[in-house]
Amino acid sequence: MNESRLTWPNRISIARICLVPVWVLCLLNMNHAWPGARRAALALYLVMAASDALDGFLARRWRQQSALGAFLDPLADKLLTTCAVILLAVEATAVPGARLPSWVPVIALGKDVLTVLGFALVYLATQRTLIRPRVLGKVSTLVQSVMVAATLLTPDLPGWWRGVVEASWAAASGAAILAWLDYLRLGIRFVSEVHAAGEAGRGSSGPS
């Protein structure tokens, strides 16, 4: 495969990134100028979530996984998730009756910040980059997507739905914590393996 060629999965990821400002604009107008902004935000969010699944499927089906795709796909996810948890937790842009509690964005953003810091520390300790998709990371992203969609749906559904939404807040936060612990375990194991390999290499190159 030609790594320099922009593949369709890459184009879908780029399109999703370009849609994030439009989605944010819908949220900013949700409680003010445009009454239909919340439903537009929900529809756009579902389109972006579907595109996330589509680009991954196409990359695997057409064997077009690439370093660019490995960067663009999580970047699009993080941009969308970061904007969502912040705006849906602020009074002016929150969904009426379903404002995210402050601990939801704190946990979501804290997980991302600590993960980036961990990757930086791993590089400093080993001079190698560690970028490996993890099942728990993908699960965390999926649960966060469900949480955002459920929150945006709240005004259209009966009162019992509030309990479902609150459960999604807890599930998304719990999944984020588990994903970070998994990354932490992976980073510690990776550093240990690199150092052990270095020690073995120095030992084998010594005098016999």
Residue 203 binned pLDDT confidence (cut-offs 50, 70, 90): low
From the number of C-beta atoms within 10 Å of its C-beta (0-12, 13-18, 19+), residue 100 rates as: buried
State how far Cα 135 lies from the chain centre. 12
Q: What whole-number distance in Å separates Cα of residue 11 and Cα of residue 129? A: 25
Condensed to tens digits (0 to 9), the pLDDT of residues 145-182 reads 999 999 999 999 999 999 999 999 999 999 999 999 99
Distance CA 197, CA 184 (A): 20
Query: How far does the chain reach from its first CA to its final CA, in angstroms?
Result: 45
Average pLDDT, stretch 70-76? 84
Residue tagged 């980036």 (tokens): 116
Whether pTM > 0.95 for this model: the answer is no
- In the chain, what are the domain boundaries? 1-87, 98-208
DSSP conformation class of 93: G
Contact, 132 vs 186, CB < 8 A?
yes
Give me the half-sphere count of Cα atoms (radius 13 Å) on the Cβ side of residue 7: 25
pLDDT higher than 90, residue 185:
yes
How far apart (Å, rounded) are the C-alpha atoms in residues 168 and 162?
Answer: 10
Answer with the residue of higher pLDDT: 17 or 3: 17
> 40 with 25: CB under 8 angstroms?
no
**DSSP secondary structure letters along 158-171:** -TTHHHHHHHHHHH
Classify the phi-psi angles of 127: left when phi > 0, otherwise alpha if psi is within -120 to 50, otherwise beta. left
Q: DSSP alpha helices (H): ranges in the chain?
A: 8-28, 37-61, 67-87, 103-126, 135-153, 161-204
CA distance 84 to 148: 7
Residue 207 has pLDDT above 60, yes or no: no
Place of tokens 């994903």: 179
pLDDT on residue 2: 44
Whole-number average pLDDT of the chain = 87
Q: Which residue has the higher pLDDT, 60 or 39?
A: 39
